[in-house]
A and B are shown apart, each in its own frame.
Chain A
Amino acid sequence: MENKKLCMALFSGSIDKLTGAGVILSGAAADDMDIDIYVLLMGARAFIKGNEKKITELSEYPELKDEFFASLDKLKVSTWVDFFKMAKELTNVKIHICSLAGKMWGGEKMEDFIDLTDDICGIGEYITSAQEADVHLFI
């Protein structure tokens, strides 16, 4: 049986949404789904080399940042990068950076992005992947 396919548009680059995306990826990886992640506008900032550990902004309830981090720590929740890494170890995950999004944050070449990145792509590829996917998420 062919694996089901998940297409994720990762527009957001804040820690709450990246963590949420990581949890969803874990579930999809445990289910052996093939996963295509398209990193769009704000998301690309987190994938610039050196930025991945510096992301601390929350999209929602920014005033509850301390509580958010304390809970992550208490519940031993993985970092967003570790979630993405684990998913890659378990299943076929490809991470594509939108070329415009990369440039927005000073990333033009593969070496500008964290090692988890597979390629830099155009938006047409994302649309095609979304059309073919069994599950499509925009985060």
Chain B
Amino acid sequence: MTTDELQGLTVSKSVDARGTACPGPLLAAKKAIGEIKTGEIMEVLSADEGTKKDIPKWAEKKGHEYLGTVEESGFFKIYMRKG
């Protein structure tokens, strides 16, 4: 998906994990995905470089669809659809 498409998604859950280092964002994502329904979209905000590869890989492994990552200034947003 393009950045514009990602930005235009209707997000059911937004997790701001910018205040924590690894493994904080991964744990936050794991907890939050349980709060949305299959097919709904979650975004995770993180400023931790390790998270950038970790969360997409975790999402796919757990049967969710990784949609893409949007770079912002000093952090990034990871999008996924719950599977």
* Contact B26 A27, beta carbon cutoff 8 Å: yes
CA distance A23 to B61 in the complex (A): 19
Residues on B with beta carbons closer than 8 Å to the beta carbon of A70 = none
Partner of A76, one of B24, B29, B31: B24
A26 at the interface (CB under 8 A from B): yes
Q: Size band of the A side of the interface?
A: 10 to 19
The answer on a CB contact under 8 Å between A90 and B27 is yes
Quick one: which of A60-91 are within 8 Å of B by CB? 75-78, 86, 90
Q: What is the predominant secondary structure among interface residues of chain B facing chain A?
A: helix
Which parts of B16-41 form the interface with A (CB within 8 Å)? 19-24, 26-27, 29-31
**Least Cβ distance of B81 to chain A in Å?**
18
Chain B residue, CB-CB nearest to A25: B23
CB < 8 Å neighbour of A77 from B21, B29, B62: B21
Residues on A with C-beta less than 8 A from B24 are: 76-78
